Structure 1
Amino acid sequence: MTGQPDNRKVLIVDDDPSMRAALRQWIRLAGFATVEVATADDAMSRLAPDFDGCVVSDVKLEGEDGLSLLRRIGELDGDLPVVLITGHGDVPMAVEAMRAGAYDFIEKPFDPDHIAEVVRRAADKRALVIENRALRKQLSDGAGLESRLIGNSPAMHTLRQQILHFAKTDAAVLVTGETGTGKEVIAQALHDFSNRKDGPFVAINAAALPEAMVEAELFGHEAGAFTGADRQHIGRIETAHKGVLFLDEIVSMPLALQPKLLRVLQERKVDRIGGARAVEVDIRLVSASNLDPREAVSTGRLREDLLFRLNAIELHVPPLRERGRDCLLLFDTFVNRLAAQYGLNTPDISARDEAFLQTYPWPGNVRELRNAAERFVLNAGVSPQPLEILVTGQKGLAAPKGADGLKALVDDYERSLIESALRRHKGRVADVLRELNLPRRTLNEKMARHGLSRDQSGAADFPES
């Protein structure tokens, strides 16, 4: 009858101390942990909708009986298995109990092996319920996150999975990526899908504040702490108590303040300027940088010991140019949302526009793409122009005419793809071959036909391999 240790619990409800002791012994021998109470009220105080075990209760209890307790548990969580025990064994009571939702009904005296087996089956059923609920929540959270971080590229699928996983922890997160990739969106998601979602989300851009103001904004100050401090000011760190503090452009934080931030992260206390005592804070820190944080350490802009505190978890947001067809999906989504927002008709996206979307490098990333979508929607009704002109101010792809329109467009698109790959890989042909999945001879022929060379990509100083 002895089972392997199990972290699932069995709540035993019986007003007879000797019976509670016997049930405890048999159920623990089966490998489960037990909690024992004598009354229905005590039982309800130990239960919650996420209780990960089952309940074993005698029908006859002092005050409220087991059938009434069964109904109360059903109101709390109809999927929580309840096994009822009786020494009277009348059939009507068993029928009533099963109709009320009892998982099983056992008569005294009973075989310890039998009750252990019933408990094991009830606990297994409960484990499946908890697992299915977690899966449904994950799917629901994933769907919500997909509406914020749009994209079907493998990199975005992985990023969304990481966010949902790491959101459950309180570890510090460092988000890296180019300007405009959506680092604050990720920080907000880490807050919204976490246990801190009901707490504040406080964002501050270290690069946007004058250096003289950063300390007061972050740490706060007491009245009279310095000239002009006529009243107490609670800093952003304290404001984020029980929530998430997002520090954007962390590398721009003045070097002199970095030890003070490090102390906050180590001791969970903040010192206001002019304060007599430290104030305890409970925060999760999410920081972001559009620069390589390790390079910032090597150049003396970021303390190494602070970096170790910031990047317990490190998330990298890929630039838009590395996300394949995500730019098409994003642009289409932005166009539809913005057209609805402005009360305008949704403009059609031409093949030329799609070709430009996929070949333009988008240095401003998602932020630039959204701006392009807004201009595209607003101009469509009065002076429609190809997207490339709206974005760059100049005509890139020639407008195809006549019978050769499709061929000209395909040729222009092919040339743009190859030229973009050459530029991105700084003329390293081996990398271009891998990205475009082309044999070397085919690439050479296409480059010759389109008048392209490695030197034109600005790659004269780079080796081919």
Structure 2
Amino acid sequence: MLEKPMRKLLVVEDDLGLQRQLKWAYEDFEVYCAANRAEAMAILRMEEPDVVTLDLGLPPDPDGVTEGFAALEEILRLKPDTKVIVASGHNAKESALTAISAGAWDFYQKPVDIDQLHLIVQRAFHVRELELQNRQMQEPGKDGETLFGTLITAAPEMLKAARTIERVANTGASVMLLGASGTGKELLARGLHDASDRRHKPFVAINCGAIPENLLESELFGYEKGAFTGAVKTTEGKVELAHGGTLFLDEVGDIPLALQVKLLRFLQEREVERIGGRKPIAVDVRIVCATHRDLHQMITDKTFRDDLYYRLAEISVPIPQLAERSGDSVLLAKHFLNRFAREMNPAIKGFAASALTAIDQWQWPGNVRELENRVKRAVIMADGKFITVDDLQFDNVDEDDRLLNLKAAREAADRKAIGRAIARTEGNISNAAKLLGISRPTLYDLLKQYEIHA
């Protein structure tokens, strides 16, 4: 078995003592050191490291940041996916944040805390490896990866759904995909079709909620010439067109009750009869459905037939919302940016770090469809090389929340919980403390720490 190659790290630092210290500390990486921009670029071209730590104070400008910023720009121009971690002194945080806006991935402060920096570097490698895995999953032609050739995810929540679909692809069972709008239900339905033994036959999709009720029957089952006014020729319905393949009924919960009876009859007999027709037509088709509605409640309300539900939902697969898919919003955002930048704005090189943080924290009520639209608009409208929070047009995003870390996440959660408790108790500190499960002095300390005025 071949050993996994060591991960390559480039340390750009003109202090030779610190160079040696960092090289010794990073024994689990293959470390290359450079003392200036020219050496750094030579190593970058030859070794192509995925992560770089960069001191902004490089010769011939060791007391400034001019050379460091020039190195950052050149690194990202030559290898845009590189995770560059910049160094800042005690009074140079502003320069570090400017570097992040220019495309750096993270920063660390001097004097160096080796353990803290090691954690940042490990995290950078982890994110880079996730990106590479998802790029490989999108490459066509790999055996056994047809489904994942259309699905971009690293989230266990979504992979579970995908594995279920992959497992039932060749069974012939009817599959019901349950999830909110924009979660990728049609993408998964196509993945199921492509992974099945019907993949060389048609995949036909129809959105039952987008077609007027009086037209839906003719769309599904077709009609004979002269069956009604305007029926100037015999037309096959979607069910017939899918013969031998897969019929995807999107928003199946919107099918009216009267038509549900005819759909149930088809599922039982596997025959359709066109409107105005007199003879049944045998059809071999696999049914995949999707809905964002609560069909169990609709059955209770008698707006959806339970016998039809059990025919359609032999296998039910819940599809998580984007906000529930760990880390997928960032992976998908980068995928969409690469695609749209190539088509519409090649000058765009990536996201500013603050934009990635905002993408990760946004709740995405419109799911993947909202993410795709925001990134597309940002690529078209952006003035700089890197997409910013403003380009994405988020509301109520903290512009100062530049970096994702446990301390920041904990503080955000504390602030949110304290704010809710104070609002619910109408400013009564004692009651708010009880609601939060902490003592009154502890709550006072937190209010002071976070500068919250109750």
| TM-fit CA distance, 1:377 | 1.9
Residue 301 of structure 1 corresponds to 303
Residue 161 of structure 1 corresponds to 163
1:284 corresponds to 2:286: yes
SS in 1 for 2:199: coil
Residue by residue, what CA displacement relative to the aligned partner does 1:226-248 show, whole Å, maximum 9, x if unpaired? 22212111111011100100111
Residue 246 of structure 1 corresponds to 248
Q: Evaluate the alpha carbon distance shift between residue 386 and residue 337 of structure 1 in structure 2; reply closer, same or farther with a 3 A threshold.
A: same
Contact 2:334 2:350 in 1 (8 A): no
| TM-fit CA distance, 1:418 | 5.7
Q: Evaluate the alpha carbon distance shift between residue 140 and residue 389 of structure 1 in structure 2; reply closer, same or farther with a 3 A threshold.
A: closer
Structure 2: 5+ residue stretches without partners: 1-140, 425-435
Residue 336 of structure 1 corresponds to 338
Contact 2:147 2:192 in 1 (8 A): no
| TM-fit CA distance, 1:146 | 2.7
Residue 145 of structure 1 corresponds to 147
Specify the structure having the higher radius of gyration (Cα). Answer: 1
Residue 83 of structure 2 corresponds to none
Query: Could you tell which deviates more after superposition, 343-352 or 251-260?
Result: 343-352
| TM-fit CA distance, 1:446 | 9.6
- C-alpha separation between the residues in 2 aligned to 1:203 and 1:419? 46
Residue 238 of structure 2 corresponds to 236
Q: Evaluate the alpha carbon distance shift between residue 445 and residue 244 of structure 1 in structure 2; reply closer, same or farther with a 3 A threshold.
A: farther
| TM-fit CA distance, 1:341 | 2.3
Contact 2:351 2:387 in 1 (8 A): no
| TM-fit CA distance, 1:386 | 3.1
Contact 1:141 1:193 in 2 (8 A): no
Contact 1:361 1:420 in 2 (8 A): no
Q: 1:197 is matched with which residue: 199, 205, 218?
A: 199
SS in 2 for 1:143: coil
SS in 2 for 1:345: coil
Residue by residue, what CA displacement relative to the aligned partner does 1:27-50 show, whole Å, maximum 9, x if unpaired? xxxxxxxxxxxxxxxxxxxxxxxx
Q: 1:227 is matched with which residue: 226, 229, 239?
A: 229
Contact 2:351 2:388 in 1 (8 A): no
Residue 266 of structure 1 corresponds to 268
Q: 1:216 is matched with which residue: 196, 201, 218?
A: 218
Letter in 2 for 1:247: L
- C-alpha separation between the residues in 1 aligned to 2:158 and 2:302? 32
Residue 82 of structure 1 corresponds to none
SS in 2 for 1:308: helix
Q: Evaluate the alpha carbon distance shift between residue 182 and residue 406 of structure 1 in structure 2; reply closer, same or farther with a 3 A threshold.
A: closer
Residue 397 of structure 1 corresponds to 398
- C-alpha separation between the residues in 1 aligned to 2:172 and 2:413? 43
Q: How do 1:404-443 and structure 2 match up within 5 A?
A: 414-416=410-412
1:366 corresponds to 2:368: yes
Q: Which has the higher contact order (CA 8 A, sep 6+)?
A: 2
Contact 2:330 2:360 in 1 (8 A): yes
Structure 1: 5+ residue stretches without partners: 1-138, 429-438, 457-465
Query: Could you tell which deviates more after superposition, 375-384 or 283-292?
Result: 375-384
Contact 1:355 1:413 in 2 (8 A): no
User: When the two structures are aligned, how many residues end up with a matched partner?
Assistant: 298
| TM-fit CA distance, 1:379 | 2.5
Contact 1:219 1:238 in 2 (8 A): yes
- C-alpha separation between the residues in 1 aligned to 2:383 and 2:206? 38
Residue by residue, what CA displacement relative to the aligned partner does 1:381-430 show, whole Å, maximum 9, x if unpaired? 369763366333x4521347xxxx879x9876555456779999xx99xx
Contact 1:206 1:253 in 2 (8 A): yes
Contact 1:204 1:247 in 2 (8 A): yes
- C-alpha separation between the residues in 2 aligned to 1:446 and 1:322? 32
Please, what TM-score do these two structures have when normalized by structure 1?
A: 0.58
Letter in 2 for 1:212: N
| TM-fit CA distance, 1:222 | 0.9
Contact 1:179 1:365 in 2 (8 A): yes
Q: Equivalent pairs: percent with the same residue?
A: 38
Please, what TM-score do these two structures have when normalized by structure 2?
A: 0.59
Q: Evaluate the alpha carbon distance shift between residue 385 and residue 148 of structure 1 in structure 2; reply closer, same or farther with a 3 A threshold.
A: closer
Q: Evaluate the alpha carbon distance shift between residue 338 and residue 445 of structure 1 in structure 2; reply closer, same or farther with a 3 A threshold.
A: farther
| TM-fit CA distance, 1:269 | 0.3
| TM-fit CA distance, 1:337 | 1.8
